[in-house]
Amino acid sequence: MTITEDAPTAGPEIGKARRRKEDQRLITGRTRWTDNITLPGMLHLAMVRSPFAHATITAIATDEAKASPGVIAVLTGRDLADGQGVVANAWPITTDQVTPTHLPVAVDRVACAGEIVAIVAARSAAEARDAAELVDVDYDELPAVLDLKEAVKDEVLAHPDLGTNTSAVWTLDSAAQGSGTDVEDEIAKAREDGIVLEREFRQQRLIPAFMEPRSTVCDPTGEQMTVWTSTQVPHILRFLVAATTGMPESKIRIIAPDVGGGFGGKLQTTPEEFATIAVARRLGKPCKYTETRSESLLSGHHGRDQWQKLTLSARKDGTVTGLKVELLADLGAYVGVVGGGVPVLGAWMFNSIYKFAAYHFTVRTLLTNKTWVDAYRGAGRPEATFAVERMMDELAAELGRDPLEVREQNWIRHEEFPFTTVAGMTYDSGNYEAATARAKELFGYDALRAEQQRRREAHDPVQLGIGVSTFTEMCGLAPSRILGALNYGAGGWESASIRMLATGKVEVLTGTSPHGQGHETAWSQIVADRLGVPFEDVEVLHGDSQISSKGMDTYGSRSLVVGAEAVVRAADRVIDKARPIAAHLLEASVDDIEFTAGRFGVKGTDKGITMAEVALATWTGHNLPDGVEPSIDADATFDPDNFSFPHGTHLCAVEVDTETGKTTMRSYVCVDDVGTIINPLIVEGQVHGGVVQGIAQALWEGAEFDEQGTLVTGSFVDYTLPTSADTISLVTDHTVSPSTYTALGTKGVGEAGAIASTPAVVNAIVDAVRHLGVSDITMPCTPERVWKAIQVGSAGA
């Protein structure tokens, strides 16, 4: 289904395929990127970064750099001392988690390549960069631990002072928490009389590659310190700057202006932000730092990077019984804002849509001397979905049955919702049968299977593979109570305010902070319907702690199901406040007033008054009921009762040239269920972007370090980011199972595509060559890897 813009008709806004109102600004150069901000007397910063993965800093000579043209100061970590604050971890996943102190600018020792060791402040960016090359740092190299399985042994330590590389071990067990039986019992039973499959999968390291590199401007000269920064989390940053520098929060204003993508990579409070703030405060001058693309790839946090060991037990008839998951997760050198919480988020998703009787999950998070790892689109859930969807294909292969049929045998049926899973999560609604039936129809599943059979029989050198991914995810992060129980340092609520202006126009202040998701459009559609005002009359303001002072920001596909729900509640309060004023103006009883389509009417009459008229009357204050304040503005916060559980079925067909290992995508169908859809155009864009990111993990992307810990995929020449020319046209469609936890029935969509697509593609490639003895291929499935797997498989077959 290709969605085109709806003609601007009257009628409900929700569900209308409106073009994004923010795009006019974004595509005509009227943007407010942080790097465009220039302040009088502003200095430019350049970072001197460690080329070594692990080393002691023995001396830093700055004289030559200080004498370089335009240079105002060169500062080391020692110079900045306590003033630099600490880069924070907000989620210690256990009470005894080992967390290395992360200084924005290293003092004495660096623990990964790219760590900042000194900062040059100069009159221009070019002068700062030139002088940074003149800073002479002496290092004594230390042994580095770069491999997860080596890190477990603790023979080489990423941080010798900590005495171990293990940061934390976190476990979820269905028998212990009472949500299922004992996994070892189920596996033992299946060993006697059933099926036990053990597989190991590698989730390679990925690099979030947003369009706009990270950039920060700090102006410390006013009454308040103002920081503009390209971030997903302005409110969280404000709290953490206050908490770690001792500055009063009220003296800190954080602004996320237009932000050019994040994908989780800007869900971070970064060394660069803290360092820019520290230097600006030290020099008493506005300072700007904008990273180069190479710095972004090396020093922005990375994603994924896990070893996954799974043991699945099933009865002989294909009914799954137990699932045991053992993970090793690389944190890199430091523990970021979410840090070890990323694999923990996956803990509830390995069981996915299937009715396992027993489940056990353990993750060991490990420190290594590589770039730190944190959230990347889906954060924990793509990793989990990949593993379980690969396992379901392995089970189908073991049984010699169709992979969709085995999934259907094991998934939660439509009539069983709400359903509490073996991991202890309650899914409110879903219809896996409907999404799968629609996907099969659009894909032409049976015809493709028949073609596959023909090609196998003909020993065609180009084999057809069909990949399946029936997924769900938990998003809408998150109920504050659950976050608290998991030791997370912040809540999961969201806030909104609605200001009714005298002219009837509406200002919506939201605590979410979009960076490409189109909130200005979607929130306007929601408010237009709720208050019965024209879409064009709604202005959405965000991303400035002075304007929307409270918020938990944008990540975890939370903005619609948490943020917009707060907007809905604020709108309802506006109506509640306006109703007695309308009654007074209409000389009617409040009980007789009904509000429909933006008009307060007196029941049984044609008397009425619009919301805009009430707003004007409230503003003048001339004729209000006694004791009623002259304002119908309203605030609301919303804390969800549960997560949101979108789901879907993605089907992928690939052609694999068995002589070269080359994979060519042939067709890709996704039928997603994200509950009520606010804007189909935005949703389609979100699905497209996510799916392509997931395909890229399967086929192309992967961060590689050499034996010294140098990032060898440090530019887009080596890190294979796909372009639209590399992908195919996707077929998208939807089923709608409204959420029972949100007033609008919505579920999140921002990560769904990235979660679903990776296993669909890898399952398709394995399916194409399984008859040649191949049962797994490590990602990214490059032609070389596919070809080698065929050689090994054929030799063993």
Q: How far is the CB of 495 from ligand MCN (least distance, A)?
A: 15
68 vs 746 by CB, closer to ligand MCN: 746
Interaction between residue 513 and ligand MCN (CB under 6 A): no
Select from 149-157, 261-269, 527-535, 770-778 the region that touches ligand MCN (CB under 6 A): 261-269
361 vs 555 by CB, closer to ligand MCN: 555
Q: How far is the CB of 11 from ligand MCN (least distance, A)?
A: 17
Contact yes or no for 377/751 (Cβ under 8 A): yes
The set of residues, in sequence order, having a beta carbon less than 8 Å from that of 27 and lying 6+ positions away, is: none
Interaction between residue 689 and ligand MCN (CB under 6 A): yes
Q: How far is the CB of 364 from ligand MCN (least distance, A)?
A: 25
Select from 102-110, 151-159, 499-507, 678-686 the region that touches ligand MCN (CB under 6 A): 678-686
User: What is the C-alpha separation between 797 and 793, in angstroms, rounded?
Assistant: 6
User: What is the C-alpha separation between 567 and 776, in angstroms, rounded?
Assistant: 47
| Site size for ligand MCN (CB under 6 A) | 35
Interaction between residue 511 and ligand MCN (CB under 6 A): no
User: What is the C-alpha separation between 797 and 778, in angstroms, rounded?
Assistant: 19
Q: Minimal CA–CA distance to 252: which of 265, 237, 263?
A: 237
Contact yes or no for 439/671 (Cβ under 8 A): yes
262 vs 661 by CB, closer to ligand MCN: 262
216 vs 554 by CB, closer to ligand MCN: 554
Interaction between residue 245 and ligand MCN (CB under 6 A): no
Q: Minimal CA–CA distance to 510: which of 538, 482, 479?
A: 538
Interaction between residue 235 and ligand MCN (CB under 6 A): no
Interaction between residue 263 and ligand MCN (CB under 6 A): yes
Contact yes or no for 155/149 (Cβ under 8 A): no
Pick the binder of ligand MCN from 377, 569, 577, 650 (CB under 6 A): 377
Select from 414-422, 462-470, 499-507, 676-684 the region that touches ligand MCN (CB under 6 A): 676-684
Q: How far is the CB of 566 from ligand MCN (least distance, A)?
A: 12
Pick the binder of ligand MCN from 231, 371, 495, 557 (CB under 6 A): 557
The set of residues, in sequence order, having a beta carbon less than 8 Å from that of 253 and lying 6+ positions away, is: 224, 225, 226, 227, 238, 544, 545, 546
- Let me know the angle formed at the C-alpha of 231 by 225 and 236, rounded to the nearest 5 degrees: 65
328 vs 561 by CB, closer to ligand MCN: 561
| Burial class (CB within 10 angstroms; exposed 0-12, middle 13-18, buried 19+) of 242 | middle
Interaction between residue 670 and ligand MCN (CB under 6 A): no
| 650, β-bridge pairs | 469, 670
Q: Collect contacts of 606-609 with beta carbons under 8 A, ≥24 apart.
A: 609/582, 609/585
The set of residues, in sequence order, having a beta carbon less than 8 Å from that of 573 and lying 6+ positions away, is: 498, 634, 635, 636
Helix (H, G, I), strand (E, B) or coil at 128: helix
Q: How far is the CB of 525 from ligand MCN (least distance, A)?
A: 8
Interaction between residue 493 and ligand MCN (CB under 6 A): no
Contact yes or no for 381/346 (Cβ under 8 A): yes
Q: How far is the CB of 320 from ligand MCN (least distance, A)?
A: 29
Interaction between residue 678 and ligand MCN (CB under 6 A): yes
Select from 150-158, 161-169, 262-270, 316-324 the region that touches ligand MCN (CB under 6 A): 262-270
Q: How far is the CB of 680 from ligand MCN (least distance, A)?
A: 7
Q: At what angle do helices 680-699 and 752-769 cross, to 10 degrees?
A: 40
382 vs 709 by CB, closer to ligand MCN: 382
Q: Say how far residue 428 (Cα) sits from the centre of its chain.
A: 22
User: What is the C-alpha separation between 523 and 747, in angstroms, rounded?
Assistant: 15
The set of residues, in sequence order, having a beta carbon less than 8 Å from that of 389 and lying 6+ positions away, is: 352, 468, 469, 470, 471, 759, 760, 763
Q: How far is the CB of 23 from ligand MCN (least distance, A)?
A: 11
Pick the binder of ligand MCN from 220, 675, 714, 793 (CB under 6 A): 675
Pick the binder of ligand MCN from 253, 301, 558, 579 (CB under 6 A): 558
Interaction between residue 174 and ligand MCN (CB under 6 A): no
3 vs 86 by CB, closer to ligand MCN: 3
DSSP state of 489: S
Select from 223-231, 487-495, 558-566, 575-583 the region that touches ligand MCN (CB under 6 A): 558-566
Q: How far is the CB of 517 from ligand MCN (least distance, A)?
A: 4
The set of residues, in sequence order, having a beta carbon less than 8 Å from that of 514 and lying 6+ positions away, is: 259, 520, 542, 543, 554, 559
Task: Please state the length of the chain.
Answer: 797
Pick the binder of ligand MCN from 174, 410, 524, 554 (CB under 6 A): 554
| 689, β-bridge pairs | none
Interaction between residue 519 and ligand MCN (CB under 6 A): yes
Q: How far is the CB of 548 from ligand MCN (least distance, A)?
A: 15
Pick the binder of ligand MCN from 445, 555, 741, 787 (CB under 6 A): 555
Positions in 739-758 near ligand MCN (CB under 6 A):
746-751
Positions in 12-31 near ligand MCN (CB under 6 A):
none
User: What is the C-alpha separation between 60 and 415, in angstroms, rounded?
Assistant: 68
| 309, β-bridge pairs | 200, 326
Pick the binder of ligand MCN from 264, 303, 343, 511 (CB under 6 A): 264
Pick the binder of ligand MCN from 686, 737, 757, 763 (CB under 6 A): 686
Interaction between residue 261 and ligand MCN (CB under 6 A): yes
349 vs 581 by CB, closer to ligand MCN: 349
Q: How far is the CB of 452 from ligand MCN (least distance, A)?
A: 34
Interaction between residue 556 and ligand MCN (CB under 6 A): yes
Q: At what angle do helices 432-443 and 445-457 cross, to 10 degrees?
A: 60
Contact yes or no for 421/473 (Cβ under 8 A): no
Interaction between residue 74 and ligand MCN (CB under 6 A): no
Q: How far is the CB of 422 from ligand MCN (least distance, A)?
A: 26
Positions in 204-223 near ligand MCN (CB under 6 A):
210
CA torsion angle 568 570 576 579 (round to 10):
-90
Q: What are phi and psi of 141, to 5 degrees?
A: -70, 140
User: Interface residues with ligand MCN (CB under 6 A)?
Assistant: 210, 261-264, 377, 515-519, 522, 554-560, 674-679, 682-683, 686, 689, 746-751
